[in-house]
Amino acid sequence: MNKPIAAIFCLLLSLSVKAESGYDLWLRYTPVSNSALLQQYRTLISAPVVIGNSPTLSATRNELKNGLSGLLGQRVSVLTAAAKNSTLIVTVSVPALAETGNEGFIIKSKQGKITITANTDIGLLYGVFHFLRLLQTQQDISNLNIVSAPKLKLRLLNHWDNLNRTVERGYAGFSIWDWHKLPGYIDKRYIDYARVNASIGINGAVLNNVNSNALILTNAYLLKVKALADVFRPYGIKVYLSAKFSSPIEIGGLKTADPLNSDVQEWWKAKAKEIYSLIPDFGGFLVKANSEGQPGPQDYKRTHADGANMLAAAVAPYNGIIIWRAFVYAAENPVDRHKQAYDDFQPLDGKFSANVMVQVKNGAIDFMPREPFHPLFGAMPSTPLMMEFQVTQEYTGQGTSLIYLAPLFKEVLNSDTYSKGKGSTVAKVIDGSLNHHSLNGMAGVSNIGNDINWCSHPFAQANWFAYGRLCWDYDLSSETIADEWLRMTFSNNQQFVTAAKNMMISSREIMVNYMNPLGLHHIMSTGGHYGPAPWVDNLKRPEWNPVYYHKADSEGVGFNRTSTGSNAIAQYFPEVRKQWEDINTCDEKMILWFHHVPWNYKMKSGRTLWDELCYKYYSGAEDVKKMQQTWTSLQPYVDAEEFDHVKQLLNIQYNEAVWWRNSCLLYFQTFSKMQIPANYEQPDKTLDYYKNLSFPFVPGI
């Protein structure tokens, strides 16, 4: 080969090797690397067929074709009617399957054939995604007997996306909803969004920010919403909207939004009729009211139940629901912020309409890296409660940190409320089984933006994946979910999976140690919540100041929430209180959440509280360094572009961990008057240096 031709050949070859952008998330469908399993798959899968015709079955057929073609390394056609040699058959079951409900499925291997059956088309789509996941994770499919149905009815993503395409607490670029071009232009990303969500069983999307703009309910925007609903429908995803309570005033020409006013009630009924005429399967409204300055029924001396029930009546004829957020606190209320949502909502138990759910954050403060489960779980047995998790990492490293959130989600779901004795877990509250509610669900605040890889940090994709998998089955372990995601996203190499999984599982505890150890909370900077600022004390609302939460003084540090303090602990059942009320037996992971602890208090390790804080902060930062070393060792198994992306972000994360460590210890040292032990690397900057750092353009504000 002469030199010019060789040069051209090399150029073409280099162009043909596509760098991994992350756009395909966990649906990459790369060829199966295990030759024995590949041969098994090719032998067992012949003339696959998806029987029937509908938009959902067309999507199912297309997914199966693309998935099998990629995984088997050969072109695969999927039939619409069974052939004699068809060995993979996807069909609605006749008679109906009792054990799967409307969304579940059964996958069975029998007499040389694999069948995927369900009662509905969407059940078949979920079954096909599950089957493809088996191949992606290189499982033996010769003897399958899988019965799977979702544990939760509503499995929603809450997008905090604004109409100008900014995203509140978004760290992956702008909103994927291009409102300006809708409804005329349907971005392919909308279809891929629906595909990816269907692959993990998510069945609903709240399209706009809970700090809502009333314009979303005007006809011009409803036509845009309809276009998205039409795209999502074949994938089993309903659209919901965040509704601004003052919309009758802002876009309706009324002078009041009082929920007991007949004109207001009629306005909402007319608006619901308009929406359902465009979108017959519209899910309903999510409402943030009387929280952080948002309008609500309390503006008119009405209760949250009054407001929710008025909206519930408007959507009830169309089988719509109202999801009413319990995240409320008020500047004029001097009570511990931990107590305010409980105080507002618990007395309203049983007063909400049948199609109202109260959406409760996992903890009583605000998506902290670690906090005790919200006391409302178990305290409202006559009201269906919906879990609200934050998938976007507002307080857990934002877009620069590798933090796997499944352990956080599981910690909350497995917490025992003791509301009906031992075993009354938060999971059993939200799935409705504890108190016999048929309406149940979970919501996750989205981490999705228009970055090419959707989530900014490649490992942030795992939190979207984990959230969906736990919505479907909250009994799955963090380890199982991490294993699936790593194999589907990167590699099935066992050495890679084991090391990367261990890194993921430990990442949340590492972050807690270098940010908020021992129950410290809400000590991040104000506004963008990026980085530490435990010293802030000058904001007009007391509960916006970090000093409100740690209460450091010469005596010690921590918020006394026992009977001698705010008594927030009384909102929990007695068996739960026993875990935390005695400083000498309190779980040390929560000790500063519930107690003001002396600096020289002796911890279980034998160290003083001050030395334990130092130990936690320093070990957390050092463990990020170990994560860097682990990732470096995994370079041979990862696409070069993605490897470098994560490597650079881990460098940022280590620097941020040191920043958290040094600034927090220097600040708390001004109260403890104790030295950072000499065996630790001493801070190389002053406290004033850290106090003067400013980040006015941090993403997500």
Mean pLDDT of 8-28: 68
Tens digits of per-residue pLDDT, 487-526?
Answer: 999 999 999 999 999 999 999 999 999 999 999 999 999 9
Q: Per-residue b/e over 326-365, b at no fewer than 16 CB within 10 Å?
A: bbbbbeeeeebbbbbbbebbeebbebbeebbbbbbbbbbb
Q: What is the pLDDT of residue 541?
A: 87
Q: Does residue 12 have a pLDDT over 50? A: no
Q: Report the alpha-carbon distance of residue 184 to residue 472 in Å, rounded.
A: 34
Structure tokens that stand for 690 in this block: 């850290």
Q: Does residue 14 have a pLDDT over 90? A: no
CB atoms within 10 A of CB 531: 17
Q: Does residue 262 have a pLDDT over 70? A: yes
Tens digits of per-residue pLDDT, 323-380?
Answer: 999 999 987 889 999 999 999 999 999 999 999 999 999 999 999 999 999 999 999 9
Q: Does residue 254 have a pLDDT over 60? A: yes
Which residues pair with residue 105 across a beta bridge? 148
Mean pLDDT of 112-123: 97
366 belongs to the catalytic site: yes
Tens digits of per-residue pLDDT, 385-396?
Answer: 999 999 999 999
Q: Does residue 237 have a pLDDT over 80? A: yes
Q: What is the pLDDT of residue 117?
A: 98
Q: Does residue 2 have a pLDDT over 60? A: no
Q: What is the pLDDT of residue 19?
A: 84
Q: Report the alpha-carbon distance of residue 108 to residue 610 in Å, rounded.
A: 58
Q: By the 8 A CB rule, do 178 and 185 touch? A: yes
Residues with Cβ < 8 Å from 494, sequence gap 6 or more? none
Q: Where are the alpha helices (DSSP H) in 473-573?
A: 478-489, 494-515, 547-550
Q: By the 8 A CB rule, do 521 and 509 touch? A: no
Q: What is the pLDDT of residue 18?
A: 64
State the DSSP string of 139-157.
---TT-EEEE--S-SEEEE
Q: By the 8 A CB rule, do 615 and 607 touch? A: yes
H or E element at residue 114: strand 113-118
Q: Report the alpha-carbon distance of residue 431 to residue 436 in Å, rounded.
A: 9
Q: Does residue 187 have a pLDDT over 80? A: yes
Q: How far is CA 484 from CA 362, 542, 617, in A?
A: 25, 44, 31
Tell me the percentage of the chain whose pLDDT exceeds 90.
96
Tens digits of per-residue pLDDT, 31-84?
Answer: 999 999 999 999 999 999 999 999 999 999 999 999 999 999 999 999 999 999
Q: Does residue 7 have a pLDDT over 60? A: no
Provide the pairing of β-strand 441-445 with 154-158: parallel
Q: Does residue 3 have a pLDDT over 70? A: no
Tens digits of per-residue pLDDT, 305-326?
Answer: 999 999 999 999 999 999 999 9
Q: Does residue 26 have a pLDDT over 80? A: yes
Tens digits of per-residue pLDDT, 446-499?
Answer: 999 999 999 999 999 999 999 999 999 999 999 999 999 999 999 999 999 999
H or E element at residue 107: strand 105-110
Q: Report the alpha-carbon distance of residue 152 to residue 5 in Å, rounded.
A: 60
Residues 187, 250, 292, 588: which is the catalytic one? Answer: 292
Residues 20, 24, 336, 394: which is the catalytic one? Answer: 394
Give the chain's domains with CATH numbers: 28-148 (3.30.379.10), 154-474 (3.20.20.80), 512-559+596-691 (3.90.1330.10)
- DSSP state, 118? E
Mean pLDDT of 135-160: 98
What is the residue-averaged pLDDT of the chain? 96
Tens digits of per-residue pLDDT, 643-677?
Answer: 999 999 999 999 999 999 999 999 999 999 999 99
Q: Report the alpha-carbon distance of residue 389 to residue 430 in Å, rounded.
A: 12
pLDDT bucket at 416, cuts 50 / 70 / 90 = very high
Structure tokens that stand for 4 in this block: 């010019």
Q: Report the alpha-carbon distance of residue 701 to residue 692 in Å, rounded.
A: 20
Q: What is the pLDDT of residue 646?
A: 98
Residues 366, 388, 484, 623: which is the catalytic one? Answer: 366
